[in-house]
Amino acid sequence: MKIISASWIITCDENSTIIKDGAIVYDKKIIDVGTIEFIKEKYPDVDIFQLEENSIVMPGLINSHVHLEFSSNTTTLKYGNFISWLNSVIGSRDELIEKATTKLISQKLSRMKKTGTTSIGAISSYSFDLEACKKSPINTVFFTEVIGSKADMADTLFADFKARLNSAVLEKDESFIPAVAIHSPYSVHPFLIRESLKLASETNLSVSSHFLESPEEFEWLHKDQGSFLDFFKNFLGQSQSVTRPMEFLNQFKNIENLSFTHCVEASNNDLHKIKELGATINHCVTSNRFLNNTKLDLDRLDEYSIPFSIGTDGLSSNNSLSMFDELRNLLMTHTNRNIIDFSKVLLKAATKNGSDALGLNKGELVANKDADLICISLPDRVKDENDLCMNIILHTKFVDKTIIGGKNV
């Protein structure tokens, strides 16, 4: 059993409880949280590791959506428009993936840890990121992704998907959790969706899918029109979408832990369905900005009581995998939100909601949750407790200490 005390404990629990001069008792899981006085009296025989002034202990950050296999991109891909980006990904995919070695991905994961991330939802298209994820102390929900809209390729692609999923299942341990990703409604044939979701629900795996990321996707899925039409004609010889948005969503009925990424073009009916499915929306604000997509309307999510979590997406559509960079971008992008109040919402989205999206038992400093903690320090005393969350987001570049499953890592 260990105890750490800090100037502030941010619990990210249901009531967003913040404890001034607090302490946390843990081994692999969290045992107790309270004021230093209370904890000292209750655990008189345990040494307390005291952090310095202006210190904070909070749950480790959860990046609920990242593509590590595209980690080598910096200046290659085209931004500013979804179709141009997609074409550039297809054109440069082989070259980028070849450069994203286990060594490079491990370096990126190490930097993610230093910038506060303790769990990720890694979308894996080829399983080339498996070894790096396995080696990293960061908890990985490893989403083996299925893709392919052509009916005559479906059997082959399903066999490949199953083989990759099986390899991930063989590697399963406490910090490496296999899961299933459906690439998107436009790129996956309904047969593949049905069969891969059947596998996921039979084995109780978490599921995630991109959904309605761009206006072009909306035009295509609803009307078989727009610039996706040219793309599909040229690339795949198709002139009709393989599914409609509602047909697509209806396939996810038996999935316990479900998330949809982006959803910036989702209709009210779609949002209603997403709520009914109990899903979380992975919000990737920087990625949406880079590709000139719409900004997610968080007020509409509130109307439907849909929780959102935070993802950086990959370095294919971001210049950083740091969750603190992403949180700052969120503050700067959602200009209609009050910066102080929104900061509190964001810390919960980056912890508890991420845990829910991925089906983990983390993200809150509450007894019986996994002891995944980060320790950070602010440059000066926080005058008003109400500004604490905002100051954490504004000033944190790196963490001082990371604890995953009760261990210093």
Shortest Å distance, C-beta 408 to Fe ion: 31
Shortest Å distance, C-beta 52 to ligand BEZ: 50
Query: Of 34-42, 229-237, 271-279, 310-318, which part binds Fe ion (CB under 5 A)?
Result: 310-318
Q: Residues with catalytic annotation?
A: 213
Note whether 313 binds Fe ion by CB under 5 A.
yes
Considering the complex, state which of residue 210 and residue 273 has its C-beta at the smaller distance from ligand BEZ.
210
Note whether 326 binds Fe ion by CB under 5 A.
no
Considering the complex, state which of residue 117 and residue 187 has its C-beta at the smaller distance from ligand BEZ.
187
Q: What's the token pair of residue 71?
A: 């980690």
Closest CA to 241 of 216, 267, 277, 265: 216
CB 373 within 8 A of CB 364: no
Shortest Å distance, C-beta 89 to ligand BEZ: 8
CB 354 within 8 A of CB 62: yes
Which residues, at least 6 apart from 270, have a Cβ–Cβ distance to it below 8 Å?
211, 212, 245, 246, 249, 263
DSSP 123-169: EESSSTTHHHHHHSSSEEEEEEEE-B--GGGHHHHHHHHHHHHHHHH
Shortest Å distance, C-beta 316 to ligand BEZ: 13
Q: What's the token pair of residue 2?
A: 């260990």
Under DSSP, is residue 375 helix (H, G, I), strand (E, B) or coil? strand
* Tokens 């040219």 found at: 230
Q: Which of Fe ion, ligand BEZ, none does residue 313 bind to, with CB < 5 to 8 Å depending on kind?
A: Fe ion
Shortest Å distance, C-beta 94 to ligand BEZ: 14
- Which residue's CB comes closest to Fe ion? 313
Considering the complex, state which of residue 40 and residue 150 has its C-beta at the smaller distance from ligand BEZ.
150
Considering the complex, state which of residue 287 and residue 355 has its C-beta at the smaller distance from ligand BEZ.
287
Q: Which of Fe ion, ligand BEZ, none does residue 236 bind to, with CB < 5 to 8 Å depending on kind?
A: ligand BEZ
* Amino acid residing at 376: I
Helix axes 323-333, 339-349, angle to 10 degrees: 140
Q: Which of ligand BEZ, Fe ion, none does residue 147 bind to, with CB < 5 to 8 Å depending on kind?
A: ligand BEZ
Considering the complex, state which of residue 313 and residue 356 has its C-beta at the smaller distance from Fe ion.
313
Note whether 129 binds Fe ion by CB under 5 A.
no
Binding stretches for Fe ion (CB under 5 A): 313
